[in-house]
Amino acid sequence: MYIELKTERLLLCPISTKYLLSTHEYASDIENTKYMENLPNKTIDETRHYLEGAEKSWNNDIVTVFEFALISKDGHIGAVGLYLDTESKDAEIGWIINARYHNMGYMSEAVKEVIRFAFENLGLKSVYAKCDQENKASERVMQKVGMKMVSNDTSRIDRKTGISKKEYRYSIKRE
């Protein structure tokens, strides 16, 4: 399956191994991934493995994982993933962007478009996102796209330290 979404400044398309170097740039950046559960990638092979899995998921008969590359006028700058729960008709959304493009509104623009796609084309009832309570940038994205906090008392294990950290969960329902 091939899906393209367009916003004012971005093209969102299936992420693939053709974006290996640009993905590895942001996915291996320790500072950029400090709040991420499953990052940073330590090797380019880890990044390749992720991208190969993403490509494979786009080719399934029934797609339940949509990993989009964010393409700006400067090229590939980040990713947004949508992970469906087909029974509940809900999905989790997650994102990452190269640090050079922080605070430019790209992520809010991309996330809003993926949520629109989820509601209009996939028939989902709600989309939720989670973030480390210290990750104020992701929390702002959630708020900007209309998500509301539904929980602030869950935790996650930090991959790098093994320490349990508090997380926020935000959600938006289809109108």
58: CATH? 3.40.630.30
Residue 159 lies in a domain: no
- Rounded to whole angstroms, the Cα distance separating 167 from 40 reads 18
- Rounded to whole angstroms, the Cα distance separating 56 from 50 reads 10
Nearest to 16 by CA among 75, 62, 57: 57
Q: What is the pLDDT of residue 156?
A: 79
Q: How many CB atoms lie within 10 A of CB 131?
A: 23
Q: What is the pLDDT of residue 129?
A: 96
Q: How many CB atoms lie within 10 A of CB 2?
A: 7
Residue 79 lies in a domain: yes
Residue burial 11-50, b: 16+ Cβ < 10 Å; e: rest = bbbbbeeebbebbbbbbbbeebbebbbebbbeeeebbeeb
The residues of the chain scoring below 50 in pLDDT are: none
Residue 54 lies in a domain: yes
Q: What are the residue ranges of helices labelled H in 17-105?
A: 20-27, 44-58
Residue 169 lies in a domain: no
Q: What are the residue ranges of helices labelled H in the chain?
A: 20-27, 44-58, 106-122, 136-144
- Tens digits of residue pLDDT in 32-78: 998 888 889 999 999 999 999 999 999 988 899 999 999 999 999 99
Residue 143 lies in a domain: no
- Name the residue range of residue 16's domain: 5-125
Number of domains within the chain: 1
Q: What is the pLDDT of residue 88?
A: 82
Q: What is the pLDDT of residue 163?
A: 80
Q: What is the pLDDT of residue 162?
A: 79
Q: What is the pLDDT of residue 158?
A: 73
Residue 71 lies in a domain: yes
Residue 113 lies in a domain: yes
